[in-house]
């Protein structure tokens, strides 16, 4: 059936981010994960007759701040709309959202794509709305509804279909999580449902020079990076197989929604997708439009910081760090800012990076805290890095000293002396030890001077003997120089 087939997957994402306000979007109920079911509700979020919503100002400002970080244009005038649909977890039978006048549009997000490069994914819009409740299906032969989540402020972000793999979608999701955490507008905790993803996926299939587009499929409510990546990868292959079998294309097939079955690692059909007119949008009569003054917008914009992808690229280019290390350092804003302050205090960037990523973050993870809560200062880490760079202590000893800094709060040089970890670099003192080792190991000396395969191994042996006699306190670099001078001349 026809010639060779090539294909390209096209993905657009709808992302819901729960904002970390103390109260809900349109009422005073607390936003609290894990509370007793249906205990954080009131007549407003339950949709009782005659009640009136009131907008949460902080939620709106958080949404604007996030939209600015996503390079969006901010609307100075925006309104609220009712999106009508009936599900058990939506007691009002409508959701307050934004339709034709969202608070922001026309933005983009940069995602890492390897080799220190980035790819730009365009953002159509980012708007504010309220969340629905949660249906619980784990009770046997019936379902239950927990309405605690109803009315929680959500930022919905909609991208253009610029994503071309499950891996790129995951990279975007990870980057967005870092951004909202950096800004402090969301905890971004996947386990608590703070971020949910709905990819819209189809293929451009090329056969005999003709392009075909498969019907769009939306996968609903993915709540992990792994499910997002695997769901897209599975759907890519499923759609290709279906096209090859049936030849069905976008013009003849309806848009459908599917769910992700994590146990079977596959998508399953749910229903045909509603279109905008099915939701019967109309302006929300109980809420006034929002007008954003220039001064308020400038004040919100002043809260922006250097974002993670920008920092990550800078660390690679400016300090020569690996992409992996730069990614680890920029994972949390507090870690990145601690690193920056340590470098500003005079610490050599790669030494500081090694201390923080190999020892500091390990201790912080074990203690369940941030790196700034461990008791040592950026200046102290900079001093320790300088000691390693100068050869005063070894890289191995520096990890031991950093651990001791956490336990005692003492300065690194004080600890190095107390723990006898200072390296001896006095050439005169070390020369006497080298002479003794050379005298005691004539065969190794002969192997070095003879050259050949044994030379390198013998030199390492002699260096080890000097380190042993000095109880590891000799500076290996200085010892190597003395050995080379003596054996090179003899």
Question: pLDDT, tens digit, for every residue of 355-376?
Answer: 999 999 999 999 999 999 999 9
Cβ-Cβ contacts under 8 Å for 242 (sequence gap 6 or more): 214, 248
Residues 37 and 16: their CA atoms lie apart, in Å, by 22
Is the pLDDT at 214 greater than 50, yes or no? yes
Higher per-residue pLDDT: 419 or 423 = 419
Number of C-beta neighbours around residue 251 at 10 A: 8
Using the structure block, give the residue that is written with the tokens 């880490």: 381
Give burial (CB, 10 Å; 0-12/13-18/19+) of 452: exposed
Cβ-Cβ contacts under 8 Å for 417 (sequence gap 6 or more): none
Residues 189 and 199: their CA atoms lie apart, in Å, by 19
Q: CA angle, 361 as apex, 393 and 170 as ends, to 5°?
A: 135
Return the pLDDT at 393. 83
Is the pLDDT at 276 greater than 90, yes or no? no
Residues 61 and 71: their CA atoms lie apart, in Å, by 15
Return the pLDDT at 135. 87
Return the pLDDT at 425. 53
Is the pLDDT at 429 greater than 80, yes or no? no
Q: Token pair of 50, please?
A: 């005659």
CA 242 to chain centre: 34
Cβ-Cβ contacts under 8 Å for 325 (sequence gap 6 or more): 315, 353, 357
**Residue 484 pLDDT grade (very low, low, confident, very high; cuts 50, 70, 90):** confident
Range 446-465 average pLDDT: 74
Render the burial of 41-75: b for 16+ CB within 10 Å, e for the rest. Answer: beebbbeeeeeebebbeebbbbbbbbbbbbbbebb
Return the pLDDT at 386. 93
Question: pLDDT, tens digit, for every residue of 125-154?
Answer: 999 999 999 988 877 788 899 999 999 999
CB 181 within 8 A of CB 189: no
Number of C-beta neighbours around residue 20 at 10 A: 20
Is the pLDDT at 3 greater than 90, yes or no? no
Higher per-residue pLDDT: 245 or 484 = 245
Q: CA angle, 289 as apex, 284 and 293 as ends, to 5°?
A: 165
Domain 427-489 listed as CATH 3.30.1490.20: no
% residues pLDDT > 90 (the chain): 70
Return the pLDDT at 320. 94
% residues pLDDT > 70 (the chain): 92
**Residue 209 pLDDT grade (very low, low, confident, very high; cuts 50, 70, 90):** confident
Is the pLDDT at 273 greater than 70, yes or no? no
Return the pLDDT at 490. 41
Is the pLDDT at 91 greater than 70, yes or no? yes
Residues 427 and 379: their CA atoms lie apart, in Å, by 30
Return the pLDDT at 449. 74
Return the pLDDT at 489. 43
CB 69 within 8 A of CB 306: no
Diameter of the chain by CA atoms? 100
Q: What does the mean pLDDT of the chain come to? A: 90
DSSP strand pairing (195-207 vs 81-84): unpaired
Domain spans of the chain?
A: 14-198+254-296, 308-418, 427-489
């Amino acid at each position: 059936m026809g010639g060779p087939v090539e294909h390209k997957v096209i993905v657009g994402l709808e992302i819901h981010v729960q904002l970390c306000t103390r109260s809900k979007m349109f009422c005073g109920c607390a936003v609290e994960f894990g509370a007793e079911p249906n205990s954080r509700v009131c007549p407003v979020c339950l949709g009782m007759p005659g009640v009136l919503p009131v907008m949460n100002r902080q939620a709106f400002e958080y949404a604007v701040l996030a939209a600015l970080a996503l390079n969006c244009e901010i609307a100075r005038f925006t309104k609220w709309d009712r999106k009508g649909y009936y599900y058990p977890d939506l007691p009002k039978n409508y959701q307050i959202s934004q339709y034709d006048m969202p608070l922001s549009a026309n933005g983009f997000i940069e995602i890492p794509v390897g080799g220190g490069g980035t790819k730009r994914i365009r953002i159509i819009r980012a708007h504010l709305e309220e969340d629905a409740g949660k249906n619980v299906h784990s009770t046997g032969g019936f379902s239950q509804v927990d309405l605690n989540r109803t009315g929680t402020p959500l930022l919905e972000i909609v991208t253009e279909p610029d994503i071309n793999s499950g891996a790129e979608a995951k990279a975007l999701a990870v980057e967005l999580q870092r951004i909202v955490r950096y800004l402090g507008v969301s905890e971004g905790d996947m386990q608590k449902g703070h971020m949910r993803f709905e990819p819209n996926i189809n293929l451009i299939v090329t056969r005999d020079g003709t392009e075909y587009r498969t019907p769009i499929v939306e996968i609903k409510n993915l709540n992990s990076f792994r499910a997002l990546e695997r769901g897209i990868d599975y759907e890519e292959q499923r759609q290709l197989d279906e096209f090859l079998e049936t030849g069905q294309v976008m013009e003849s097939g309806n848009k459908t929604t599917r769910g992700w079955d994590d146990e079977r690692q596959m998508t399953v059909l749910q229903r045909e997708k509603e279109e905008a007119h099915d939701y019967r949008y109309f302006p929300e009569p109980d809420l006034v439009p929002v007008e954003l003054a220039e001064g308020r917008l400038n004040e919100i914009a002043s809260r922006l910081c250097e974002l993670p992808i920008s920092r990550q690229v800078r660390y690679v280019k400016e300090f020569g760090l690996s992409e992996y290390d730069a990614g680890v350092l920029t994972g949390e804003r507090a870690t990145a800012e601690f690193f920056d302050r340590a470098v500003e205090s005079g610490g050599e960037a790669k030494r500081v990076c090694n201390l923080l990523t190999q020892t500091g973050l390990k201790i912080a993870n074990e203690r369940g805290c941030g790196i700034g809560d461990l008791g040592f200062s950026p200046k102290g880490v900079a001093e320790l890095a300088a000691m390693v760079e100068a050869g005063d202590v070894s890289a191995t000893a520096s990890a031991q000293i950093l651990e001791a800094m956490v336990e005692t709060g003492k300065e690194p040089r004080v600890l190095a002396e107390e723990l006898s970890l200072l390296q001896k670099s006095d050439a005169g003192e070390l020369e006497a030890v080298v002479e003794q080792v050379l005298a005691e190991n004539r065969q190794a000396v002969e192997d070095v001077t003879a050259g050949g395969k044994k030379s390198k191994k013998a030199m390492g042996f002699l260096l080890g003997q000097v380190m042993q006699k000095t109880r590891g306190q000799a500076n290996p670099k200085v010892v190597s120089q003395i050995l080379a001078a003596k054996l090179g001349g003899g």
